[in-house]
Structure 1
C-alpha cells in the first residue's frame, strides 16, 4: 500500500508541475508604454484589466534593467500587491492620480504577504527589487507618461 501511495504522490506532483508549465506557457503578452522618472526611462508593460492585473509578472524568470509593469486601477483604490507565483524579487511604487509616488515597498518572490498603498492610488509600478532606491527615487517623485486616470 505504501508503494501505491508513493506512486499517487508522484503522479499528483507531476500533474501539478505540468499544469504550472502549461499556465506559464499561456502567459499573456502585454502592451508596453514608456514612462519616465526624472531622467530614467522605463519600458512598462500595462496591466489594465482584472485578468491582466491578476497575472501580473507571474512565472517570469527575469526582467530587463529598466523594464517593469504598471497596473492601472481605473479608480482610486487602497491597492495591495502580493507575489504568488512571482519568481523575481520586485519593488512596487504606489502612485496617485497625478503621477506622484505615495510609497514604495519591497516584495520577496513567491510570498503571499500583502504590500499596500498608503492611501488611495490609481497606479502601481513594479520594477526589479532595489530599482527605485538605486536611482534615489522616493515617495513624492513624479512618474511621467502614465495613461490618464479616470
Structure 2
C-alpha cells in the first residue's frame, strides 16, 4: 500500500506535465496510401491501394468515416481465393472480388467488428471494399465490370 502512495505524486506530476502515455493507444487508420481512379459505368470511385501485406492486413480498420465515393482496392501478387473479415473495422462494408480485368466474381456484405470470413468464389487478385450497399444501390452484380488503369495489362 505504501508503494502505491509513493507513486501517486509521480503520476500526478507526469499527467500535469503531459508526459504520461495511456496504457493502450488507439490504432490509427491508414489514410495516406496511393490512390487510383476506378469506374463502374458512370459511377466514379476514388480508391486507396493496399499492395503490401501490412497495408492489406490493416485495410480500412479504425476508419470512423469515409466519403461515399471512396474505397480501398486490395492488390495481391497472385490470384488465389481471398478471404476478408472485419474484426477492427468500424464501418459496414461491401467487398467486390474482382478478376484481373475488373469483372466482379462475387460480392459480400460484411458487418463491422466481426470475425466472420467472406471469401471469393474463385481465385482473384483484386478486392474492392466500399460502403455497405454501394454496389447494390448502383445495380452492380457478379459479371459486371469495373474499369480503371489497374485492370489494363
Same fold (TM over 0.5): yes
1:6-21 mapped onto 2 (5 Å cutoff): 15-16=23-24, 18=25, 21=26
2:55 is the alignment partner of 1:52: yes
In structure 2, what is the equivalent of residue 24 of structure 1?
A: 28
- The alignment's C-alpha RMSD in Å is 2.0
Give the secondary-structure state (helix, strand or coil) at the position aligned to 1:15: coil
**If the length of structure 2 is used for normalisation, what is the TM-score?**
0.81
2:104 is the alignment partner of 1:101: yes
Could you list the runs of 5+ residues in structure 2 that have no partner in the other structure?
5-21
1:1-150 mapped onto 2 (5 Å cutoff): 15-16=23-24, 18=25, 21=26, 23-24=27-28, 27=30, 29-148=32-151
Aligned pairs, how many?
134
Give the secondary-structure state (helix, strand or coil) at the position aligned to 2:97: strand
Partner Cα distance (1:29, 1:86) in 2: 17
Distance 1:148 1:35, change over 3 A: closer
Q: Which has the larger radius of gyration?
A: 2
